[in-house]
Structure 1
């Protein structure tokens, strides 16, 4: 296929680079011509940078905004996400499914560069791939990648380094915080995919999650942002098809279907020796999932929130 996801993301990335000063992001040109954009490591990139970063991660196929909310009576912003292209925006682009591990650098790789690399089984199963001339990726990391990281991505995607842009933000930053917590719909979609549900039945998705306070360090940020999704997010999916399959699969989708539900994410992360890929994959889900069946008009809700845990995690 042509590079539709990458093309859309690259266009929005050009907008971000054109307003780098205003958005408080810092582009760095590497020796091989690649551009690495600091979105929160050595610069206080803010709200607008985080919202654009999240849209790039979704290949600009979703709308993301901050809305007012409360947590245990305390005012708190919430991140609201909506998309009419849940498979493309969430599974084929936003999902952090590419483990970038080069020398001493490690990051969770997401964004449309994944569709160009096709290193994950997901692309084979969903019969999707892209061969773009340019690509952009989003890395959740607390250090900037060097030439070796770009070379790995170049080799996997077949794209020359000078046509690669990497956007980097740690969870302990405003932009990184927003980028991670904008994944409420994505976690629901990926859980459905892992449970062998026909994700093409999903016609649209909407989700909200509390915006965690920015943590003082990357590890604490990982805990807070994941707790936000696991214990405070609510997702609505508009689907087609029969009701029986929704009633059957529904209880397995929210985070309370995992045995470790009820523990702060940081505790679970430490038990897994700080390896995301060693954690029970069923845990990575929204707190609540609503299915609205477009064919029958029926709605089904599953899951539960834990606002007391969130209050403790956020330091309220």
Structure 2
């Protein structure tokens, strides 16, 4: 499986601000010394050593994660604003087929679908999967006047709706998939993908509960020994105390969860829209320190960043 992040923000899309860009430029300029500009090679070396939080950006698009399996099937998890850029690469492709799997239907996870260009091509096949029987009505509603000028009927006629159930596995090509309902206002469904002995979990919009740490047969079958877990870690601990019941987790609870279930790689996901890059990278450092403290770094902690790829 090849996994790529196209949207990693939670709640609402968050473009980088002018002030944030200026802050990065000031920080880089302040770090330059005379010896760093003596030659082209030296300049390139300086640039390559600029910290990630100053050189790039986490990204501002809402949730959208692509998985390409061994068969070449295209699986897309959620249709946040990140799906718009994902679709641009298929402008000249004929008879393209996509598998779009929804965790739930809060706006930040569906608002990119009307801007997914391949969906308007008559030869596109669009498979849509959800645990919600009303998914057709939900997606149609956001494209009705006065909310959007183009109706869903303008999309390809080759939309295939797949009603799925928690705990009942299904296959897309070479990938076996099963879903699990987790705590979030209105519920959210996490996905476990299994292929060639590898296990990948997409678990966004999750407020971890005590029962998620119980060694039940269902929990163990879903979480235990996963190779990669993409998990909602929107808040700091302080914020989770203030926002109990809002449906999101803190990075330290995410690490405790990964340690408990012997998960190898944890990607912090669904970043808060009020956090700038600097704060998110500070959270990463704290998370990595915490992982070292509680499990000697056995859980590798990463950030979900737009454009980042994982080969599994």
Higher share of residues assigned helix: 1
Same fold (TM > 0.5): no
Which is higher, the Rg of structure 1 or of structure 2? 2
Q: Tell me the TM-score normalised to structure 2 length.
A: 0.29
TM-score normalized with structure 1 length? 0.28
